[in-house]
Amino acid sequence: MKHIIAPSILSADFANLQRDIEMINTSEADWFHVDVMDGAFVPNISFGFPVLEAVKKYATKPLDVHLMVVKPQRFIERFVHAGADIITVHYEACVHLHRTIQTIKELGCKASVALNPSTPVSLLKDILVDLDMVLIMSVNPGFGGQQFIPQSLNKIAELRKMANEINPNLIIEVDGGIGISNIESLIKAGANAFVAGNAIFAAPNPTQMIADLKNVDVS
Ligand code: DX5
Ligand code: ZN
C-alpha cells in the first residue's frame, strides 16, 4: 500500500479555510490532520469543536484528529459527533488508555495513540494489538514549523519491528518537521503515514508539494 499524506490544517490560512480545504480535497492527500490543543497538555491553544465541524462540512477525505489534550476521554464522544474518523490520544495524557481506546472503537472511529519524543515505544507493547495506528511525534507537540528530531527514526524502526510480530497492519504515522528531505528515510524506517504542515502550506505550490510527498520514490 502506498503511504498516506495528511496535511495539517494548523498551518492553513484560517481566514481562507474553505479555500485550503478545497485545495486538500482536490490534491493527492489522503486525510486531513486536525490538531486540537488545550493550552494544558501543550503550551498552545489551537481550536475545538466548531472548527472541526466546519472542516467536516467541506472535507471529502477522512479527518485524522490529533488530541493534544489532558484527559481526552472527557471529549471522545463529542469529537466523534463533530466528524472525527481517526482519533489519536496521547499516551502521556491517559491514565486508563485501554478504556479510552475501547471507547473510540465502540463509537466507530479508528483508534490511535501518540508518543511524545521522550516516551519509548516499548510502553505500547500491551496495547499494540488494539490499535489501528501509532503516531510518533518527531517534534515536541504544540507548534507547527519545528525541526525534525532525528531519534524518531530509531523509534519508528523499533515500533515497526514490534508491530510485525503483534499487529502487522498497524499504521505508523509521523508528525512534525516532515518534508521532502526526510520522508524517504522515514518510509524506509517503517512509517506509512505522514503529517505535514509547514512543508505544504509554506510551499509556493501546496498541491504540487502534496503530490511530491505522495509520489516520493523509495525504490
Ligand atoms: C504539532 C502538530 C503537528 C504540526 C506539524 O504539535 O501535532 O501536526 O501541525 O507541523 P509541521 O509539519 O509544520 O511540523
Ligand atoms: Zn499533529
Residue 200 is placed in which grid cell? 505544504
pLDDT surpassing 90 at residue 175? yes
Per-residue pLDDT tens for 112-148? 999 999 999 999 999 999 999 999 999 999 999 999 9
Catalytic, 30? Answer: no
The Cβ-side half-sphere exposure at 29, using a 13 Å CA radius, reads 32
DSSP 39: S
Distance 133 CA to ligand 2 centre (A): 13
Q: Is 179 in the pocket of ligand 1 (CB under 6 A)?
A: no
Per-residue pLDDT tens for 18-57? 999 999 999 999 999 999 999 999 999 999 999 999 999 9
Catalytic, 64? Answer: no
Strands across the sheet with 193-196, in order? 4-7, 193-196, 171-175, 133-137, 110-115, 86-90, 63-68, 32-37
- Structural domains in the chain? 4-214 (3.20.20.70)
Which bound ligand lies closest to the C-alpha atom of 9? Answer: 1
Which bound ligand lies closest to the C-alpha atom of 138? Answer: 1
Q: Provide ipTM, 2 decimals.
A: 0.98
What confidence category does residue 59 fall into, taking pLDDT thresholds of 50, 70 and 90? very high
What confidence category does residue 198 fall into, taking pLDDT thresholds of 50, 70 and 90? very high
Instruction: Quote the mean pLDDT of the chain.
Output: 98
Task: Identify which of 5, 65, 66, 143 to mutate to test ligand 1's pocket (most ligand atoms within 8 A of the CB).
Answer: 143
In ligand 1, the atom with minimum distance to the C-alpha of 146 is: 14
Span 45-72, average pLDDT: 98
The pLDDT of residue 218 is 87
Answer whether 0.95 is exceeded by the pTM.
Answer: yes
What confidence category does residue 160 fall into, taking pLDDT thresholds of 50, 70 and 90? very high
What confidence category does residue 200 fall into, taking pLDDT thresholds of 50, 70 and 90? very high
The pLDDT of residue 219 is 77
